[in-house]
Amino acid sequence: MNADNMKMRAQLKDGLLEVKVLISHPMETGRRKDDSDRLIPAHFVQLLTATWNGKIVLEAQWGTGISKNPYLTFYLQGAQVGDIVEVTWHDNLGESATQKIAVTQA
Amino acid sequence: MKRRDFLLGILTLATLAPIKVLAALWNKAAFESTRLQDASRHLQINAEIPSQLIEIVAPERAENGAIVQVEVRSHIPQTEAIAIFVENNPNPLIANFIFNNGAQPFVVTRIKMAENSEIKVVVKSAERYFTHSKNVIVLSNGCG
């Protein structure tokens, strides 16, 4: 999957950087059935990592309990306008995507 | 990202910071546990201390269990990780967030809830574990 499947925003608000991430992903639990009563295989994001200017700031391990089209907001202290935030996810079927953006002032 | 690049990335990280890599591996046993106590055990959580320094913002009543927005913030010094559990879900462990290098122990995300349940948060700080819970009434099963 490519980065079109991710939307990101990184804005400084009162000195704190707010990073919002929205990922297009089915987050199938493996317990749902399709119209023909067959189980839909599990398909979900397991790992999301975020870096700030190349340093790891957040590692998130996820299970199937994260909602479809996962949404995440996290916060960084000490960031400045122009800093680079990069987010990468990996799912249980080996798919992944990465996106990076520059920090802006809110 | 190609698998090879990912593996190379892991190798690079392994050289720089072996501990981080262990943390980066998905905890299969914990996520696949069907009981909260087993999931906790697989995360090596022990002796949980109740704490009001953990803030959980979630609706009292969730119309749709498929999308329940939860905000979790730890005011405990040196918070390293935040784990979110939904006790009555088929797999209670929802997420485990590990913070480094200036990340604030504060996340907002959306989770699935099968039925009325406690949302339980466990915060790791300097090898100690703190906990707080919030009950949510769920009007429609979100776990399909």
3-state secondary structure A26-57: CCECCCCECCCCCECCCECEEEEEEEECCEEE
Decide: B125 and B49 in contact? Cβ < 8 Å.
no
Give the homologous superfamily in CATH for domain A3-105: Immunoglobulins (2.60.40.10)
Query: What band does A3 get if pLDDT is binned at 50, 70 and 90?
Result: low
Decide: B93 and B85 in contact? Cβ < 8 Å.
yes
Nearest to B101 among A55, A62, A64 (CB): A55
**Cβ–Cβ contact B101 with A under 8 A:** yes
pLDDT of B5 > 70? The answer is: no
Domain boundaries, chain A: 3-105
Beta carbons within 10 angstroms of residue B119's beta carbon = 22
For a pLDDT cut of 90, what percent of chain A falls above it? 93
- A2, A61, A96: best mutation site toward chain B, by most B Cβ within 10 Å? A61
Decide: A96 and A90 in contact? Cβ < 8 Å.
yes
Six-digit token pair at B25?
A: 């591996």
pLDDT of B24 > 60? The answer is: no
Q: Identify the structural domains of chain B with CATH numbers, from first to last.
A: 27-138 (2.60.40.2470)
